[in-house]
Structure 1
Amino acid sequence: MRRLPGRSPHVRPGARSPRRTPVAAGLALALGPVLLVGCSSGEPTPQERSTTALAKASDELSAIVAGFAPEGCTDASLPVTVEEGRLTAVLPDAADPSRPADRTFARAMVEGAGFGGFTAALAEEVCRQGSVSDATAVVERLGTELWRDAVARAQSTDGLAGDLPAGDDRPLYWTRLEAMAVLHQWSPEFTLTTEERASLVDTFDRAARGMLDIDLPPGDQVTRVLVSGFDPFSLDSGDEGPARGTVGNGIRHGNPSGATALAIDGTTTTAPDGTTVHYEAYTLPVSYPEFERGYLEDTVGPLMVAGDAGLDASITLSQGGGDAFALEQWNGRYHGDYAGNDRFAPCMPTGLTGAPQLAKDNPGCNVQVPERWGGGDSLTDPPQWTASTLPVAQMIEARTGTDVPRPPGDTWEDESVAFGVHWNASYAYFPSCDSADVEYVDQREDTYPPTVEPTPPPEGSCALSGGGGTYLSNESAYRNTLLRDRAGLDIPAGHIHTPDMQHFATDVAVTDATFEAWRDAIVAQSRELVEVVAAHS
């Protein structure tokens, strides 16, 4: 999930290239409409940055929600999120693209995994509750059950419900959105404040992401590894078919990092030294407010402790691009100039301003850490940079992917592996935190030791982007490694970007063999890389 600022094509690996970013007049049209929705001319307030925005639901969506719930249990006037608004999206029919499909894309995903009855069952049970505390207990239990069902399905080898492949990560995402839309329009007989409803939805969301289901066995003979994945993103993109009322085919996107999380959660392997390795996993949203509310810190922070009960490794994983995995070395505090799935960007995009926004005195462009996890009240607290401590040498030398079938269209030059693995020590920075001048360092190595020793960000510089860009992948890496540093732990922690999974042989089919082959190959090699980390933890 990498959004990188522009780079000069003439920069050699390891070199610094000074560049002054000109102030452009008007709007950079290349940014596209998704980036601009939800961005205002004013700087977002702290409350706006941490609050998931709600808007009036369409009549179509409210009818869908009401169809899940007992009569009189929902209120169509209550607002929903941008993501929930996509529950009405319909693709052209795969057999006849001139007409719309006979069901929404969300329903194709939910029913395709055998989860078709989940949302109605949740609505039935929630609507019987007479207090916030009772409803909270119900949604936490049902959210956890949904996560466990998705994990069990992903790891199933037979008796699969639905017609989608076991490894498909998308049904969990769309089922979770259906349930959250019901909770947003639930109209109980007792008074439910805005804050109580938001907390209720958060509890379900965290539970259905596996955040409340992490169970690490203690002991000095167990290596405990935590892995995060992400939701699908760029769902408003893609080509539109000829059928009226249909959406672009980017709605089909999945995320191999989320698929890896489902595949690895709760599993064990044996390390070369005979130690048992236990893996736990969770998924993260592709939107900034949940990060500001502490989704990652509340999940990982309690496990960042020394001793035989704490983590031995913590890995964040997301989708990047191309045909190679990237091991990101530097993580920048700067974030937010590209909108998430909620179409909200907390940092004014360069296309609107003509130049990158400075991090100084600009909290919307800087990651803000919850006070309960150490907070910070200055440009350098929390710090502008953190670094990976993943065993990069061993991850490159392991030659992962030799036993993974290459998917159709794979162009990685070494045909003996599915995908390449390179060490990405690139970043961009403001040499002076008071100036919009930007310098770029470009360095990627697929051999170890590197041909050029990586140069760390200069002391006193302000981040513009880590190796993972300015998007939420870099943010997950930054927050995860900052927790490691603040806990004083010497454990592997860092970020892995996967290759791009969005390869379809068809224009509008919800899945096809090519898409599935790319997902399966990326997940398989991701697991091998995670196992290398575990073996050197």
Structure 2
Amino acid sequence: MPTTNRTPHDSPSRPLPPTVEESRLTAPVAEQVLTASGFSTLVAEFTAAASTASTLDALHAVVRDHGTRLWESAVRRAGNRPGSDGLDPYDDRPLYWARTATGSVLRSLDNDVLEVQHQRLALLHVLDRTSRGIDRPLWPGAAAGDLRVAVSGFDPYGLDADVRHSNPSGCAALQLDGATFDTPAGRVVVRSVVLPVNYGDFDQGIVEDAFGPALLAGADLITTISMTSRGRMDVEKWAANARGGTPDNSRDQHFGPVGRAARWAQPDQNPEWIGTTLPHAAMVAAGTGPWPVVLKQGIREWPAGSFPDPAALRSNPDPSPGSTAAAGTGGDYLSNESMYRSNRLRLALGADDVPGGHLHVSAIVDPVDPAAITDAAFEEDRRAVVDQTIALVRAAAEAVQAERRSR
């Protein structure tokens, strides 16, 4: 039975058309990944439970429980050595395609307990946040004195170019969630989330939703992680208040400054530039491999008073006084924006002493056979990038732990 009385202003809850991301579920790779990983069972179980939920509260519980199961299953799968199914445990794609498929089911669900459209949209929000590791306890196993680290990776992207793409930053996030490192200065505990590659989600405050609770609960180190070009690992020196217009996973394009975050503290004015406070010297010196690690420098800006004159655009090693940002050292896409938003929030919350920044990790090469979703070389390449990413997070945490214990 309906649980909410509608007003004349309410939109009735009708099944919604698929999103751009959901439209890619028709590609064979989606079914192949879900079947090979066993995550197709999770989608089927959600479909059955959501269809038979007899109250709105029951449906809410189904959505929350299954979103949490998706995340926990992905993290648990990432911890298996070797893989217990048809895919390498480093693979992030089972979570991506299962979340997308489950969202598609909820978007098209025909259940009388959904009376107004706000209910369906709120449930989609719950599903998204729980299945990304955002809406859950922070560091449940942490003890007093542990260094608490919060990191984020990203979904696969560029799927119109090759729908088989995997994202090593998301793979690393799944490997790192719940990880503990014992260092000479004490124990480190890590919490991870996986962010979407969508401007709209960023405008709704998903980065702040991911890092805000962690910062308020006493995070000691935060870093966002994403994928860059092949064969390099970059600690980004500057985040820019800028979007460059590259299409996202929804084929949306945005150009201009980064928006203000919904429901989170903000500086009085957006800074044009935010510099890293990660222990980059220790990360570079840690001797990780196989790829070289550098503090990335070089930004793009409009000198003071020249925006938006296209002829005035300049590249410089560092920002000049009063300039308008066009691109940080990590570019002008959502990678840059994840660093900008998480650290803008860090500063707004007064967590000036918490190191924060962004790590760009090497791109990986897709399987040679265009009909294959994986092969040995692809898996070996991804493992090398992910293992080096984990080593760099550990090096950063050890440096922070040692510095704090020396005070």
TM-score by length of 1: 0.69
Which residue of structure 2 aligns with residue 70 of structure 1?
none
2:124 counterpart of 1:205: no
**1 CA distance for matches of 2:89 and 2:142?**
30
Deviation at 1:218, TM superposition (A): 5.2
User: Judging changes above 3 Å, is the alpha-carbon distance between structure 1 residues 346 and 192 closer, same or farther for their aligned structure 2 residues?
Assistant: farther
User: Judging changes above 3 Å, is the alpha-carbon distance between structure 1 residues 434 and 78 closer, same or farther for their aligned structure 2 residues?
Assistant: closer
Which residue of structure 1 aligns with residue 260 of structure 2?
369
Which residue of structure 2 aligns with residue 425 of structure 1?
297
- Cα offsets for 1:186-239 (capped at 9, x unmatched): 0111343232212111110111111123422555420001110000000111xx
- Amino acid aligned to 2:349: A
Alpha carbons 2:274, 2:344 under 8 Å: kept: yes
Secondary structure of the structure 2 residue equivalent to 1:213: coil
- The match for 1:463 among 303, 325, 328 is 325
- The match for 1:382 among 267, 270, 277 is 270
**2 CA distance for matches of 1:108 and 1:85?**
16
Equivalence map 1:330-349=2 (5 Å):
330-347=238-255
User: Which ranges of structure 1 fall in alignment gaps of 5 or more residues?
Assistant: 1-73, 90-103, 238-249, 348-364, 402-417, 443-454
Secondary structure of the structure 1 residue equivalent to 2:150: strand
Which residue of structure 1 aligns with residue 288 of structure 2?
400
Secondary structure of the structure 1 residue equivalent to 2:222: strand
Deviation at 1:132, TM superposition (A): 3.4
Alpha carbons 1:315, 1:494 under 8 Å: kept: yes
Deviation at 1:521, TM superposition (A): 0.2
**2 CA distance for matches of 1:161 and 1:234?**
28
**1 CA distance for matches of 2:257 and 2:120?**
28
- The match for 2:384 among 521, 525, 530 is 521
Percent of aligned pairs with the same amino acid: 36
Secondary structure of the structure 2 residue equivalent to 1:510: coil
**1 CA distance for matches of 2:40 and 2:116?**
30
**2 CA distance for matches of 1:146 and 1:429?**
41
Deviation at 1:112, TM superposition (A): 1.1
Deviation at 1:505, TM superposition (A): 2.9
Secondary structure of the structure 2 residue equivalent to 1:400: coil
Secondary structure of the structure 1 residue equivalent to 2:163: helix
- Amino acid aligned to 2:201: E
Alpha carbons 2:79, 2:175 under 8 Å: kept: yes
User: Judging changes above 3 Å, is the alpha-carbon distance between structure 1 residues 458 and 131 closer, same or farther for their aligned structure 2 residues?
Assistant: farther
- Amino acid aligned to 1:428: R
Alpha carbons 1:368, 1:375 under 8 Å: kept: no
Deviation at 1:376, TM superposition (A): 6.4
Secondary structure of the structure 2 residue equivalent to 1:291: helix
Equivalence map 1:140-159=2 (5 Å):
140-157=64-81
Which residue of structure 1 aligns with residue 180 of structure 2?
268
2:39 counterpart of 1:133: no
- Amino acid aligned to 1:264: L
Secondary structure of the structure 1 residue equivalent to 2:330: coil
Alpha carbons 1:214, 1:280 under 8 Å: kept: no
**1 CA distance for matches of 2:102 and 2:182?**
38
Which residue of structure 1 aligns with residue 10 of structure 2?
none
Deviation at 1:386, TM superposition (A): 0.9
Looking at secondary structure, tell me which structure has more helix per residue.
Answer: 2
User: Judging changes above 3 Å, is the alpha-carbon distance between structure 1 residues 134 and 329 closer, same or farther for their aligned structure 2 residues?
Assistant: same
**2 CA distance for matches of 1:150 and 1:219?**
25
**2 CA distance for matches of 1:433 and 1:491?**
34
- The match for 1:290 among 196, 201, 218 is 201
- Cα offsets for 1:288-328 (capped at 9, x unmatched): 111111111112112213xxx51010110000012110110
- The match for 1:215 among 118, 138, 142 is 138
- The match for 1:441 among 304, 316, 334 is 316
Equivalence map 1:88-167=2 (5 Å):
88-89=26-27, 104-157=28-81, 160-167=83-90
Which residue of structure 2 aligns with residue 61 of structure 1?
none
Deviation at 1:134, TM superposition (A): 2.9
- Cα offsets for 1:412-438 (capped at 9, x unmatched): xxxxxx111011121101112544221
Deviation at 1:399, TM superposition (A): 1.0
- Cα offsets for 1:231-257 (capped at 9, x unmatched): 0000111xxxxxxxxxxxx11100000
**2 CA distance for matches of 1:311 and 1:152?**
23
**2 CA distance for matches of 1:219 and 1:520?**
30
**1 CA distance for matches of 2:87 and 2:262?**
42
Which residue of structure 2 aligns with residue 66 of structure 1?
none
- Amino acid aligned to 2:156: P
Alpha carbons 1:173, 1:231 under 8 Å: kept: yes
Alpha carbons 2:233, 2:361 under 8 Å: kept: yes
User: Judging changes above 3 Å, is the alpha-carbon distance between structure 1 residues 169 and 393 closer, same or farther for their aligned structure 2 residues?
Assistant: same
**1 CA distance for matches of 2:214 and 2:154?**
20
User: Which ranges of structure 2 fall in alignment gaps of 5 or more residues?
Assistant: 1-12, 401-407
**1 CA distance for matches of 2:48 and 2:176?**
32
Whichever of the two has the greater Rg, that structure is: 1
- Cα offsets for 1:258-286 (capped at 9, x unmatched): 0001111011110122x111011010000
**2 CA distance for matches of 1:214 and 1:227?**
15
Which residue of structure 2 aligns with residue 232 of structure 1?
156
**2 CA distance for matches of 1:331 and 1:137?**
39
2:91 counterpart of 1:168: yes
Which residue of structure 1 aligns with residue 189 of structure 2?
278
Which residue of structure 2 aligns with residue 353 of structure 1?
none
**2 CA distance for matches of 1:368 and 1:187?**
35
- Amino acid aligned to 2:314: E
Deviation at 1:152, TM superposition (A): 0.6
Secondary structure of the structure 1 residue equivalent to 2:342: helix
Higher relative contact order (CA 8 A, sep 6+): 1
- Cα offsets for 1:415-470 (capped at 9, x unmatched): xxx1110111211011125442211025xxxxxxxxxxxx3x12211100111111
Runs of 4+ in 1 over 6 A off after TM superposition: none
User: Judging changes above 3 Å, is the alpha-carbon distance between structure 1 residues 461 and 504 closer, same or farther for their aligned structure 2 residues?
Assistant: same
User: Judging changes above 3 Å, is the alpha-carbon distance between structure 1 residues 209 and 371 closer, same or farther for their aligned structure 2 residues?
Assistant: closer
Alpha carbons 2:68, 2:130 under 8 Å: kept: yes
**1 CA distance for matches of 2:368 and 2:24?**
24
Cα RMSD (Å): 1.8
